[in-house]
Structure 1
């Protein structure tokens, strides 16, 4: 059987992000069902965009964080975290080895 990416402890660490994601889903459904701006497409697009964009960013952040936690639990270090920090700082660890 294949190992799961996120074990129970990792999912427990990530529940902090699941609650805001649930709140965003609730307000998204509320805006769709209640239709507070029936005649103004710009207002509807803006309000839905202000819900969808943070949801996507939070979902990606939650996945990457979970992957880093799972890698660190399994191996003691995380290659994903090293790649992210090298991109963020602009320092490539492989470039130092080539010189």
Structure 2
């Protein structure tokens, strides 16, 4: 079985960036189909380049943050949930470990 880069939870965390990426893609297509300034192609090129660079930056940021999330999840081997301390775990005990 192949090891996937992103698991289901990581993809769910990163899915919030799908809507902004779709909006940016919509505007790139809209400006390509309906040119709002047909006389001045420089303005159109600047508009499309700003939107494209923003979309590319968001896509790269999403990818690298997903890699950071999955790497951080792989590095944690401790059974203590986030927000709890070592003393909380000692008081409550570990699941499956009975006091002897």
Q: How does 1:4-43 map to 2 (within 5 A)?
A: 4-43=4-43
What CA distance in whole angstroms lies between the structure 2 residues aligned with 1:61 and 1:37?
Answer: 31
What CA distance in whole angstroms lies between the structure 2 residues aligned with 1:65 and 1:46?
Answer: 28
**In terms of Rg, which structure is larger?**
2
| CA displacement at 1:76 relative to structure 2 | 2.0
Higher RCO (CA-CA < 8 Å; seq separation 6+): 2
Q: How does 1:80-99 map to 2 (within 5 A)?
A: none
Deviations 1:26-47 (A, max 9, x none): 1111111111111211111111
State the Cα RMSD in Å: 1.3
Query: What's the TM-score, normalizing by structure 1?
Result: 0.73
Matching residue of 1:67: 67
| CA displacement at 1:10 relative to structure 2 | 0.4
| Deviation >3 Å, runs of 4+ | none
Unaligned runs of 5+ in 1: 78-99
Tell me the number of residue pairs that the alignment of Structure 1 and Structure 2 aligns: 77
Quick check: which one's helix share is greater? 1
Query: What's the TM-score, normalizing by structure 2?
Result: 0.72
What CA distance in whole angstroms lies between the structure 2 residues aligned with 1:3 and 1:59?
Answer: 22
What CA distance in whole angstroms lies between the structure 2 residues aligned with 1:13 and 1:70?
Answer: 11
